[in-house]
Amino acid sequence: MIAVLTSSPAYRVAIAGLPLSTQNAASGSEAEAIVVIDGAAGWTTRAARAADQGAAAIVVADPQSGRLDELALRALAARLPVVLDRPHLRRDVVADALAGEPARSAPWAFVTAHCSAPAGVLSETLTDALGWLREIAGPLELTVSRGAGEGVLASLRGARGGVSLTVRRLGGAGPRISVTAVAPRRLEVTLAPGALPAVRWTDAVGASTPPARFENRERLSLRRAVSAIESNELLSDVHDYLADASIAAELRQAMPT
């Protein structure tokens, strides 16, 4: 049984949903516990402090890109498992999407994505959209970007082919991400407010969709942390996030003010 230290009501519910592997940290100590950290500004400092206090693993809920100390984060990820609970990039849904692809190394004919969100959450939404593109097309390099209206148009080079991305800053609507990739099967991923993530594969035979994922993000994140502790595994979450956030920062600079 692994103790979990958190002040989040949602994570306390997740602890109750994992009664055989987790329990509330009764002592309030970070030592040998999974420490859940709010991803608001300054989360990198709070995560490093928890690691210094002997945390067994760290979960960061809704990490904000902001100003990140890249060297400190990479050093942290080399010390203990760090799970980033990203609102639009669930690891289980990513695995479902990629499981329908027979040849993971073959190039795509094209990959295109659309990302839209209010200004207050655009940075995090864009970072997660880039995470989806990285998972599908491989490591990304930004080649061209230009501001257009309330957004930006971008062209990127992925390990498996070219990628186009449209980003829009909206008024009141919630964040949305859609990704389409073709080669030769067609993959469509849609994330919209109030709906479960949707994954759809289409080919000459017809369309297929994986079973819906009803497990909440908090329970999934705790399961990943427990698994990493038990297997003595370091995770790639931080390195992936830094790659996504770096390109997102470049695109934000290209957006009209």
Residues 57 and 137 in one domain: no
pLDDT bracket for residue 27 (50, 70, 90): confident
Q: Per mean pLDDT, which range of 5-14, 172-181, 230-239 is the poorest?
A: 172-181
* Segments forming the whole domain that contains residue 30: 2-87+216-233
Look at residue 160 and tell me if it is in a domain: yes
Total number of domains in the chain: 2
pLDDT bracket for residue 69 (50, 70, 90): confident
Q: Give the closest residue to 112 by CA, choosing from 35, 13, 28, 182.
A: 182
Percent of all residues in the chain with a pLDDT value above 90, rounded to a whole number: 85
Residues 136 and 180 in one domain: yes
pTM, full prediction:
0.95
Dist. CA 212–CA 54, nearest whole Å? 37
Look at residue 240 and tell me if it is in a domain: no
* Residue in the structure block whose two tokens are 């800053």: 169
The pLDDT of 195-216, averaged and rounded, is: 93
Q: Per mean pLDDT, which range of 14-23, 64-73, 96-105, 204-213 is the poorest?
A: 96-105
Taking 80 as the threshold, does the pLDDT of residue 253 lie above it? yes
Residues 40 and 156 in one domain: no
Look at residue 77 and tell me if it is in a domain: yes
